[in-house]
């Protein structure tokens, strides 16, 4: 479950590198509400050191993570 959550975050970062004419903007919270809530809960229930390790090892942008958690 945690791996899937971070894959979504990483995919979000990669999507920003697509050509403009290839991008499709979606609202994950609206289109996939169950997945969004599950992913958000997984992140919230992680121990701080595990979360920090995942963020560091996957080079996750902290602003992207914060945006994901705030929406």
- Tell me the mean pLDDT per 10 residues along the chain, length 71: 70 66 81 90 90 88 85 57
DSSP 47: -
N- to C-terminal Cα separation, the chain: 20
| pLDDT score for 18 | 66
| pLDDT score for 11 | 72
| pLDDT score for 58 | 85
Contact 56, 6 (CB under 8 A): no
How far apart (Å, rounded) are the C-alpha atoms in residues 66 and 60? 11
| pLDDT score for 66 | 87
- 3-state SS assignment for residue 30: helix
Q: Where are the domains of the chain?
A: 2-70
CA angle (35, 41, 45) in 5-degree steps: 150
| pLDDT score for 1 | 56
């Amino acid at each position: 479950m945690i791996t899937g959550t971070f894959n979504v975050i990483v995919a979000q970062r990669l999507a920003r590198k697509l050509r403009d004419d290839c991008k499709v903007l979606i609202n994950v919270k609206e289109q996939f509400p169950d997945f969004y809530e599950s992913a958000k809960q997984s992140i919230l229930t992680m121990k701080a050191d595990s979360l920090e390790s995942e963020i560091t090892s996957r080079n996750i942008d902290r602003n992207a993570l914060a945006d994901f958690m705030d929406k």
